[in-house]
Structure 1
Amino acid sequence: MRLFRLLPALLALATNTAAGQPADAPYALTEAMIPMRDGVKLYTRILAPRAPARSLPLLMVRTPYGVSGNTPQNVSARWNFMTKDTPADGYLFVFQDLRGKFRSEGQFVMQRPPRANRADPKAIDESTDAYDTIAWLLINVPNNNGRVGMTGVSYDGWTTAMAMLDPHPALKAASPQASPADMWKGDDFHHNGAFRLSYGFEYATMMESSKDVQQFAMDAFDTYEWYLRLGSLKTVNDKLLKGTIPTWNDFAQHPNFDAFWQRQAMTGYLDKVTVPALHVAGWWDQEDFYGPVTIYRELEKHDKSNNNFLVVGPWNHGGWMRGEGASLGPIQFGSPTARFFRDSVMAPFFAMHLKDAPALTMPEALVFESGSNVWKRYDTWPPKAAVSPRALYMREGGALAWSPPAATSPTPYDAYVSDPAKPVPYRQRPVQMTYGPGSTWSTWLTEDQRFVHNRPDVLSWELPVLTEDLTIAGDLTVTLHAATSGTDADYVVKLIDVYPDSGMRDLKMNGYQFMVANDVTRARFRKSLEKPVPLTPNVPEALTIDLHTQAYTFKKGHRVMVQVQSTWFPLIDRNPQTFVPNIFEAKPSDFRAATQRIYRSSTRASKIVLPVVTEIRP
């Protein structure tokens, strides 16, 4: 690997920048354009304590969102949990703009896949850019101890995970947090092939309209109305984008799990644990819950040295890195969970690996069990001991029961009409832009589901009031026996904790319907992710829906509910319910109302399987 030398021009730039900095700031800022192996230079900010007590490790964040906000004045406030208010004995912080974003050179490529030819010395990806940056930093940043850590949330978490594929030898610890793993199966842009319309459109236009970050200008506060008026997905390029947004073009050209998405998915590359890794997820992450758990699980298959760890808490996207974490929306957790993570898990993890601090006693999986509101330590995730899968069956009269239907009734199903012209909103209207002023995007997963309960196009089943606590810990799966009068359909399933109808201290929590887990599946992919096939009208088929994983206690006096619906708009694009090869090419005439039937008979028993904790764990 080539050695990097600090050019005189870079030294002059750093000197000029430092001259304008506040003399009392605890950190000094150096700016650099760091050359990569192909000659592209990446803008980087280095914030070093003014009077380091010793040689310090480097802690790096690589991001597409801009690094100029990292200043000598505020880096202490943002990262004080890592330094314990003692910058001199903390870290050399490094923040870098990704290729093609803000002040870095080169071309930005959304979720740039790993390089195809690893033998090509000029081939680049996020792993090589991290490698080359570290090599430069070790030579050119004074007072470094030769060790580097990487971390970041969301896209920054993904760049951290990518750096772990072929790490520089000096990368000694990494914490990829809320990193996407597969943009088609379960993260930002699709869930099980169902396109996440509002997020996909708004994020792609925000990231690719310019080198910085700019929101698309919508002429409606309620984006539910805006997307409904927009019509079919074909109108996006025809009327608005005109092919100018590369990621939207990829959406439209690759609706199935083809080679494009397969090459981008991380699971195919996670074949070894290269550095100690702390994976972090939030139970109510509105963007990337699937990713960090999937990355952890894939690496765990190869973890022979106990260097792969998982933390999951009661947080939304990145919520562990800000605030106290004692609540999310109206849901209370009884303790400052985010502060606990930062102070007692993340800080000691990096200090142990980068500064020879005392060892952190870390379980394989540290998860917060909401409902009972306690942290649990497990030696595997999902846990194997003390957990028994138990099925809850959808029964007649809107009931859930632990026993399957005994016999076929004259009407062995519940039915509703799904009309794509009148889709079910995914959160309470008005649905503001994802990152727009006043948006409830960050907490929508905690919203009271009574706003759709008893709609004619939403089905609900529930258990009687619990007479004792019901605790689950592990994976959740749903089997729906479903039929449609159309030739394609979506099915959204929600697992809900229904609070007592009275007696709650906070009056609005009486009868609250709190969504514990959820997801959507697009039925065209039930047989093949690569080659979708239509449904046969009015012929029931068994569909398996992964509700991922959860640790939760449904408290005595609460009820367990399951809801099913076929639209979730505009989070998920409207399925025409008429099979077309590519929904991005669907015509207005393809969108038709369809009758959906969810079967609950002895031969076609729809159910949710819960990982029920069968004994008390310490």
Structure 2
Amino acid sequence: MHRGLIRYSLALLFGVVAGGAAMVQPAASPPAAVAPSLSEYEAQDVMIPMRDGVLLHAQVWRPKGHVGKLPILMTRSPYGFTKARIDTGLSKAGGYGELAEDKFIFVFQDIRGRFGSEGEFVNLRPLKKTADGIDEATDTYDSIDWLVKNLPGNNGKVGVFGVSYGGWTAAVATVNPHPALKAVTSQASPEDMFIGDDFLHNGAFRLDYAWSWVSALETDGRTMKAFDFGTDDAYDWYLKQSDLADMDRRLLGRSMPSWQNFVSHPNYDSFWRDSRTSHMMPAKVAVPNLIVAGWWDQEDFYGPMTIYANQEKGDDRGLNYLVVGPWNHGGWRGEGSKYGPFELGGPTGQWFRTSVELPWFRYWLKGVGKLDQPEAFVFQSGSNKWQRLSRWPAVEGKQRSLYLHPEGKLSFDAPKSRKGASSFVSDPANPVPYRDRAILKPFMRPESNWSTWIADDQAPFTKRKDVLFWQTEPLAEDVTVAGDIEARLFASTTGTDADWVVKLVDIYPSDAATPEDLRGRQRMIANDVFRGRFRASYEKPAAIKPGKALEYRIDLHSASHVFRKGHRIGVQVQSSWFPLIDRNPQTFVPNILKAKPGDYRAQTHSVFYSRDFPSSISMSVVPDAK
């Protein structure tokens, strides 16, 4: 939901106020404009009244000396905006420099209860349940209504944009939209926090991220202060936390609303279902929406892809569009020539902003140019090619399965033997780290590189005894994958609960033709975790029967990737991913966040690969486009 919280929020939305928000005057008596030093824009603070009397703070930035009417571009966020950061973002070299150069009236608004805005902050506030209620959709409507009526020089057309939480507020702006809302771009928006976005994946709690987010955002509505771990290795710090349910009261001095929601809703109940973005958005698409996702988004990849797919069902007018690029969370706001050690063939972020985002708003808000926008722009990794597609997934390729075999072998041939399994001991006292140690405090220090952990080499983890590994022979020809990927795992445990983590990797050759820093590297293409207790139902978890081989279908989401000739395809399976994911006690308890130290026990897990239990990775394999 945020790109690395403090540091990355600054990059995404120009600024986070480190201390208290400056006092602002009511809109009736705006202060004098502040002339920025880098951009050609000037700023004004306003307070915008909502239907319930609450005033929301916003900064209005307009091009200096411009004569004539301009459309309004608005973004809404809980992360705060400093004038210096906005000024940098609107400069020629900034993340919104292309839009700024074309001239719009920009509005940056703090949502309820955050920084300069009045009211109560509610994380991902659900839709109102009464006619006179409020939610983010009504606040957006009221803000647009005030802006078009009170800002001089606007042309009556408004676009809403944003990344992460701002992408979510852009998505819900389409709920009962104001007539002046003509276009949105919802970028890296979460969709379902229990199934696949920031806080949980398939019921497994994203401990490190959730704690860092809650402790920074909910301790004080006027600040964004990083939690002091008191150590450089978050792995050790989290390993010592035995009472997760009470962490907020114990370490922050009081209950944090979101943390207690995590504790109170361990299963997929109405709390989670009602907060799904697609549950909020209208069934019929009425406002043009450019949905943007990054293949290696470490926070919200599931969100934009699922929102796009769900909105397609009601897109009778052809207003729902998709861009998927080679980016981490919000990476398209940067230059985008590289992700980790991987060259991307050019400045992909700059290309997106110039060739896609700017023409999008010029067309819908200014009536300039034509919309040369395919249904989907999709970046194919491995070949570093952009594809113009009439839909996503684009091709009904041949569905093929890569099967696990003895001795770590992986092939498209189904197993013929009646027996076959590999086992390992999963010990909660020594969980598999999600990256090389030391795992620095996420988000808070540049050297932690939280934004690029998916680019980390996965090869070192195969040296652990609690990570199973399979690989193909070197490929005789390119293998191109485009579409959904699913792991079909047959597995057992001696315990009564278990997590299953599956990674699909591209293994680079070790020869002299391969760049030195990529030789033997295992590049993660798809991944996810599944909490075993939810095998039959997310709503009603159940203990696993010890020793019984059960089938787990794990959504690894989608990819557009070319495994090159001479590379190998690899699969890793493990049962912990710490502290990205909290530890599973491996003994069934009703609520893992309330598990006691004695509940955590080492167990033996087995993955089967036989004729009766053919564990595999299913993916759509298509001919390589020449």
Is TM-score (shorter-chain normalized) higher than 0.5? Answer: yes
C-alpha distance in 2 between matches for 1:186 and 1:594: 26
Q: Secondary structure at the match of 1:202?
A: helix
**TM-score between both structures, scaled by the size of structure 1:** 0.94
- The Cα offsets for residues 126-161 of structure 1, whole Å up to 9 and x where unpaired, read as 000000000000011011011000111000100111
User: Contact 1:29 / 1:72 at 8 angstroms: preserved in 2?
Assistant: no
**1:344 has 2:355 as partner:** yes
Q: Secondary structure at the match of 2:553?
A: strand
Q: Secondary structure at the match of 2:162?
A: strand
Say which of 288, 297, 311 aligns to 2:309.
Answer: 297
- Structure 2 unaligned segments of length 5 or more: list them: 1-23
User: Contact 1:491 / 1:564 at 8 angstroms: preserved in 2?
Assistant: yes
Say which of 26, 48, 70 aligns to 1:56.
Answer: 70
Deviation of 1:81 after TM superposition, in Å, equals 7.6
**1:604 has 2:613 as partner:** yes
Aligned runs of 1:271-286 on 2, under 5 Å? Answer: 271-286=283-298
**1:171 has 2:181 as partner:** yes
Aligned runs of 1:420-499 on 2, under 5 Å? Answer: 420-437=428-445, 438-499=447-508
Deviation of 1:423 after TM superposition, in Å, equals 0.2
Q: Secondary structure at the match of 2:115?
A: coil
Q: Secondary structure at the match of 2:463?
A: coil
Deviation of 1:614 after TM superposition, in Å, equals 3.0
- Structure 1 unaligned segments of length 5 or more: list them: 1-7
Deviation of 1:167 after TM superposition, in Å, equals 1.0
1:53/1:82 Cα in 2 relative to 1: closer, same or farther (>3 Å)? Answer: farther
C-alpha distance in 2 between matches for 1:65 and 1:591: 37
| Seq. identity, % | 47
Say which of 28, 36, 41 aligns to 2:42.
Answer: 28
C-alpha distance in 2 between matches for 1:189 and 1:395: 34
Q: Secondary structure at the match of 1:10?
A: coil
Q: Secondary structure at the match of 1:521?
A: strand
1:108 corresponds in structure 2 to 121
1:10 corresponds in structure 2 to 26
Higher mean displacement: 76-85 or 290-299: 76-85
- The Cα offsets for residues 185-209 of structure 1, whole Å up to 9 and x where unpaired, read as 0000000000000001110111101
User: Contact 1:81 / 1:347 at 8 angstroms: preserved in 2?
Assistant: no
Q: Secondary structure at the match of 1:136?
A: helix
1:136 corresponds in structure 2 to 146
- The Cα offsets for residues 226-273 of structure 1, whole Å up to 9 and x where unpaired, read as 000112424524632454211000001111001111111122233121
Say which of 239, 245, 250 aligns to 2:261.
Answer: 250
Q: Secondary structure at the match of 2:224?
A: coil
1:445/1:81 Cα in 2 relative to 1: closer, same or farther (>3 Å)? Answer: closer
Higher mean displacement: 268-277 or 510-519: 268-277
User: Contact 1:83 / 1:91 at 8 angstroms: preserved in 2?
Assistant: no
Deviation of 1:501 after TM superposition, in Å, equals 1.3
C-alpha distance in 2 between matches for 1:253 and 1:113: 17
Higher mean displacement: 438-447 or 265-274: 265-274
Q: Secondary structure at the match of 1:264?
A: coil
1:65/1:502 Cα in 2 relative to 1: closer, same or farther (>3 Å)? Answer: same
Q: Secondary structure at the match of 2:83?
A: coil
1:202/1:11 Cα in 2 relative to 1: closer, same or farther (>3 Å)? Answer: closer
Tell me how large the CA RMSD over aligned residues is.
1.8
**1:413 has 2:427 as partner:** no
Deviation of 1:506 after TM superposition, in Å, equals 3.1
2:11 corresponds in structure 1 to none
Aligned runs of 1:293-372 on 2, under 5 Å? Answer: 293-322=305-334, 324-372=335-383
Q: Secondary structure at the match of 1:113?
A: coil
C-alpha distance in 1 between matches for 2:36 and 2:245: 53
Question: How many matched pairs?
Answer: 600
Aligned runs of 1:573-584 on 2, under 5 Å? Answer: 573-584=582-593
- The Cα offsets for residues 9-28 of structure 1, whole Å up to 9 and x where unpaired, read as 635642x332x536996222
Residue type of the alignment partner of 2:280: Y
Higher mean displacement: 354-363 or 545-554: 354-363
Q: Secondary structure at the match of 1:77?
A: coil
User: Contact 1:243 / 1:249 at 8 angstroms: preserved in 2?
Assistant: no
User: Contact 2:585 / 2:592 at 8 angstroms: preserved in 1?
Assistant: yes
C-alpha distance in 2 between matches for 1:72 and 1:487: 52
Q: Secondary structure at the match of 1:584?
A: helix
User: Contact 1:154 / 1:180 at 8 angstroms: preserved in 2?
Assistant: yes
Deviation of 1:616 after TM superposition, in Å, equals 2.9
C-alpha distance in 2 between matches for 1:38 and 1:536: 53
